[in-house]
């Protein structure tokens, strides 16, 4: 059995194009949050913006979703059959793949900017569910952040939980470093279970038992290099270990000293003198830039290049 009747969708789209606003809104609502959404959008073109864009500017959520999605990407869809081993029946699954460099609608920053401004200006009439939906397909990072802040102001559990996620996994580029205790305070407010001690233990265990830690060079230059060297030397003398030809300084000690977080696992292996100097770091964490952002937060007069070892 086919999962999608493309000809029926095309006919419904044709009727919506030629119909009134009520019919158009009903059609867009019928495909919103549905597996057929992307397929229908692929059948659209720039001329469809003549009837969809006004609805998007009025903040009809399904229209905003389609405009934002269509200006962001274009996908190809196909169906694959496979045999269910338990039932012996043939099951049809819809597959989706993004086409690199293509979009359904010609990108229009002016239109997206107008939609974003309308969203922010209409916070007082949009409920939490509408705001969460708009944030999912948001037209820009700035508007997304504004929606998140508004939802947090309203004590929305999803927005509160999102802040817990930030502190559980970190957003170092924006100055947020892993802090499991702080994550717990947000999860508690959102009514979610979270054990910071067990999370820290499991993350450290997983990191230390990885087969292939990332080995990275930090190439640093700038007026603050002597201060960085002095700090690392001082920390090594207190907490480091020496194994020829390297000395090992635990990464969590450095991160704790810089930004107050000891949730990062790895080792700094000495300092290679030069201009710029190099600091080899063995990471057991997915984010190899964490030390970069921590250093820049304390030592702003640095330039740091992160180089993977081949």
Cβ(253)–Cβ(236) under 8 Å?
no
Distance CA 100, CA 236 (A): 47
The answer to whether 144 touches 119, Cβ cutoff 8 Å, is no
H or E element that contains 192: none
10-residue averages of pLDDT along the chain (310 residues): 66 93 92 68 92 96 91 84 85 82 93 95 94 82 93 96 96 95 97 96 84 79 92 93 80 95 88 78 77 95 83
DSSP-derived 3-state class of residue 233: helix
Displacement of CA 221 from its chain's centroid (Å): 30
DSSP 202-216: HHHHHHHT-SS-EEE
Per-residue model confidence (pLDDT) at position 247: 80
Using CA atoms, how far apart are residues 106 and 87, in angstroms rounded to an integer?
Answer: 45
Helix (H, G, I), strand (E, B) or coil at 58: coil
The size of the chain, in residues, is: 310
Task: Give the Cα separation of 306 and 20 in Å (integer).
Answer: 56
- How do residues 8-58 score in pLDDT, each as one tens digit? 888 999 999 999 999 999 999 888 755 566 778 888 999 999 999 999 999
**Domain at 210-308, CATH class:** alpha beta
């Amino acid at each position: 059995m086919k999962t999608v009747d493309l000809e029926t969708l095309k006919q419904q789209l044709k009727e919506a194009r030629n119909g009134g606003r009520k019919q158009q809104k009903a059609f867009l609502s019928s495909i919103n949050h549905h597996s057929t959404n992307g397929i229908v959008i692929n059948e659209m073109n720039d001329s469809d913006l003549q009837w969809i864009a006004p609805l998007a500017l009025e903040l009809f959520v399904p229209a905003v979703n389609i405009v934002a999605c269509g200006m962001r990407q274009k996908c190809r869809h196909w169906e694959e059959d496979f045999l269910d081993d338990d039932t012996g029946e043939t099951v049809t699954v819809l597959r989706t793949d993004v086409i690199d460099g293509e979009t359904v609608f010609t990108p229009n920053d002016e239109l997206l900017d107008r939609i974003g401004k309308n969203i922010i200006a209409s916070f007082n009439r949009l409920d939490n569910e509408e705001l969460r939906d708009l944030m999912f397909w948001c037209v820009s990072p700035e508007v997304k952040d504004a929606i998140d802040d508004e939802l947090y102001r309203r004590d929305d559990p999803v927005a509160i939980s999102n802040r817990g996620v930030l502190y559980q996994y970190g957003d170092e580029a924006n100055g947020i470093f892993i802090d499991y205790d702080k994550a717990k305070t947000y999860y508690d407010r959102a009514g979610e279970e979270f054990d910071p001690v067990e999370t820290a233990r499991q993350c450290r265990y997983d990191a230390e038992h990885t087969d292939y830690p990332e080995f990275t060079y930090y190439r640093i230059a700038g007026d603050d290099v002597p201060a960085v060297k002095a700090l690392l030397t001082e920390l090594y003398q207190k907490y480091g270990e020496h194994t020829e030809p390297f000395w090992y300084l635990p990464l969590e000690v450095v991160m704790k000293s810089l930004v107050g977080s000891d949730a990062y696992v790895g080792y700094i292996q000495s300092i290679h003198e030069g201009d710029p100097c190099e600091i080899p770091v063995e990471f057991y964490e997915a984010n190899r830039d964490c030390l970069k952002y921590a250093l820049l937060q304390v030592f702003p007069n640095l330039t740091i290049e992160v180089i993977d070892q081949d």
